[in-house]
Structures are given as structure tokens and as C-alpha cells.
Amino acid sequence: MDPRPIGVFDSGLGGLTAVRALRRILPEENLIYFGDTARVPYGSRSRETLLRYSRQDVRFLRSFDIKAIVIACGTVSTTSLASLCAENDLPIIGVVAPTCQRALAVSREGRIGLIATPASVRSGAYEACLKAQEPSCAVFSAACPLFVPLVENGRYRRGDIVIETVAREYLQPLIDQGIDTLILGCTHYPLLTDVLSDICGPDVTLVSAGEESAFALKRTLRAMDARADPSQSGSAEFFVSDRTEGFEALASVFLEEDLHHVVRQIDIDRY
């Protein structure tokens, strides 16, 4: 057994959707979350900038005695995972491989849609991973730059005309291609599940990245014999790089529960 915490990071607070999945799937584990709220959004940035930012995020988390890292951020997972893994001697779980595995497992005809940030779509990481596992699959991608700001402004509920109009415009080309599975490749998109499934209809299975990485972490910890004591209830600590005011309100949107934890601000440029 290993009581050391798991480090989780994201460009901001959207990664709390992954924390939610982790708490459900691995309730005994202690978590340390870092949200780079001073530099969000990551989704429009270059590969070089993303690697520099994510190296600092990892260095901050490694200032604690952690046993593994989960990259909740789709954009970091698609652009920087290989470098971060090569540079660090602890397991680092990104969202791409576990999500692709799941998408291929549930897809009936191998016609897979991907929605994500512009940087993630540009990276081609999902497509490469899906094709490596199943060369005959067909992948159709759409960058959805308006989803993150709309979700952060509370426009994610079923019946909201703004999000429904934007989502229909993004999804229609994928629906026209006859997708049977849709990968939600960004931290914020699980909140759009109702809106997206209404538009896609019952024949398209949605696969959420955060949830699949939690299952992947569970498998990794089991293989390392590094699970925390299952009779314990895990703790969570939260750090951000910008002001902490307003954290609770936005955090509870992504966690889908009220947050009563203390959040601390750190200077990410020191790492």
C-alpha cells in the first residue's frame, strides 16, 4: 500500500471534472490538484509554450512526495505527454490512450468523432493513437474553440439556445460522416453531455476523457501495488496560479458539488 498522493493538473479549473471521476473511481486516494489559472486557456497555444508550461506544472506537483501524475488537460496530453514521461521517473497518465482504447471498444463501425481544443486537434494525437490500435477506423475531428468560454460562463445546460446553436454547428459535419462514437477530448466537455447527446442522438456513444484516465490510473496503481488503504477516504488539496477569489463558484460547476476546501495560490514562475 502507498498513501502518497496523486498529482493532478490542468490549465485551469476544468480538470476538476477529472478530479470528480478520480474521487468516484479511486475514493481512497489522496489528491493534489494544480490549476494554472493565471495562464489559462492552453487550448490555443503553441506546442513549445505548452511544453514549457506543463514542465513547470509537473515541477510544482513534484515538490510534493507524489506517486503518480494525471494530466487532466486534453491539450497538454495531446502535445506534451511523451516529453513529460521521458523526463520524469514516475507514472504520468494522459487522457489520449485510455480514451482511444475505450472509444474503439464501444464503436460499432469504427467511425469515431473527436471534439477538442484547436491545439489538441492540430496535434493529431487522437487520430494517431486510434489508427495505431485499429488501422481501419475512420476519425473525424472538429476543433471547438467556443465551448470552453461558453461552459465557463454557465452556458452548458440543455435548452440554452447559445450552446445548442454552437454545438450543432460544430457537430453537424461529424454527424454527416456517420460517426457512431464521439470522444469528448477536453476537460470542459463532460458538462455538455446532455446537449451533445441530444444533438448526436441515441446511436452515437459519448466517451469522456477524464473518466477513462481515472480507470487507467487505477490499473497502473494496481500493477505497481501502490493503491492507498481502501478503508480510508482520500483527501484533496487545491492550488491555483492566480487569485483564489471566485474559485469555489467555478470549481463547484466542474466538480458538480459544493467545494469546501481551502485553495492556495502559488507562483508558478518559481518552478
Which residues here bind ligand DGL, judged by CB under 6 A? Answer: 10-12, 14, 40-43, 73-75, 117, 120, 148, 186-188
**Nearer residue to ligand DGL within complex by CB, 46 or 235:** 46
CB of 10 to ligand DGL, least distance (A): 5
Positive or negative, the CA dihedral 246, 249, 250, 251 is positive
Minimum Å distance from CB 157 to ligand DGL? 19
* 186 annotated active-site: yes
Which residue's beta carbon is nearest to the bound ligand DGL? 43
144 flagged as catalytic: no
Selecting among 73, 100, 129, 144, the annotated active-site residue is 73
What's the min distance (Å) between Cβ of 229 and ligand DGL? 31
Closest separation between CB of residue 120 and ligand DGL, Å?
6
If the CB atoms of residues 4 and 170 are measured against ligand DGL, the closer one turns out to be: 170
Nearer to ligand DGL (CB atom), residue 186 or residue 195? 186
Catalytic option among 100, 137, 144, 186: 186
In the bound state with ligand DGL, the residue whose beta carbon lies nearer, of 29 and 57, is: 57
| Catalytic sites, residue numbers | 73, 186
